[in-house]
Amino acid sequence: GSRLRQEDFPPRIVEHPSDLIVSKGEPATLNCKAEGRPVPTVEWYKDGERVETDRDNPRSHRMLLPSGSLFFLRIIHGRRSKPDDGSYVCVARNYLGQAISHNASLEVAILRDDFRQNPIDVMVAVGEPAVLECQPPRGHPEPSISWRRDGSNLDDRDERITIRSGKLMITNARKNDAGKYICVATNMVGERESETAELTVLERPTFVKRPSSVVLLADESVEFHCVVQGDPVPTVRWRKA
């Protein structure tokens, strides 16, 4: 058998793989580096089963790099077939023994299309609070939420505006808050836009010019002037006090 030479030593892992979340169709690398003498061979196992690489099958989308790392040309992830999702270890071997790395999970990022809750049209009066609600599509990693009004990102530095877990709250609605709102869900896969919701901000009727008292002789004609504003445009009725 092999004679144990002074300088030979069993394998040890000097770089362990890290957990990965990657997008479908993108390349990815699980790192592994081992030391030993003689130089150890490296194999990978996923969920307890040996991983087939280009060393076994030249057409494989997984390549075992000279360093020992496992490189995926593109991550495959379909409805029925999810060959790359799982928990991986690398194993380094020489005639003196073997070393096993820490576990590393490879997860495929997803972002579904359908919002669990789309925002709906809201109508409030000036000065009232306005609330628009949205629940993003399911996703991994969990998507973040932002809002756009009339195509522009909402300025969340405005202290009247709070965005919390998909809910947009405007504490003191103004006329210029009115518009078409969409909720945008984003993660590493990309972004999804909700259906559009219209925020209408109505203005209570106010007098711009009130009628003033007039003194006149009997049978003289008189005109009273009254100017009002509001949204929708108020109707004006006259009453004799």
Strands 49-50 and 41-46: antiparallel
What is the per-residue pLDDT across 66-110, written as a single tens digit (0 to 9) for each? 999 999 999 999 888 889 999 999 999 999 999 999 999 999 999
- Domain contains 181: yes
pTM: 0.71
The residue from 59, 83, 109 where one domain ends is 109
Do residue 163 and residue 192 come from a single domain? Answer: yes
Domain count, the chain: 2
> Do residues 180 and 207 lie in contact, with contact meaning Cβ atoms separated by under 8 Å?
no
Do residue 54 and residue 131 come from a single domain? Answer: no
> Do residues 147 and 100 lie in contact, with contact meaning Cβ atoms separated by under 8 Å?
no
What is the per-residue pLDDT across 153-202, written as a single tens digit (0 to 9) for each? 987 788 899 998 889 999 999 999 999 999 999 999 999 999 999 999 99
Do residue 97 and residue 135 come from a single domain? Answer: no
- Domain contains 218: no
- Domain contains 212: no
Do residue 128 and residue 64 come from a single domain? Answer: no
**What CATH number is given to the structural domain containing 128?**
2.60.40.10
Range of the domain at 169: 122-203
ω into residue 66 within 30 of 0, thus cis?
no
- Domain contains 225: no
Do residue 74 and residue 128 come from a single domain? Answer: no
The residue from 46, 80, 109 where one domain ends is 109
Do residue 77 and residue 135 come from a single domain? Answer: no
- Domain contains 42: yes
- Domain contains 237: no
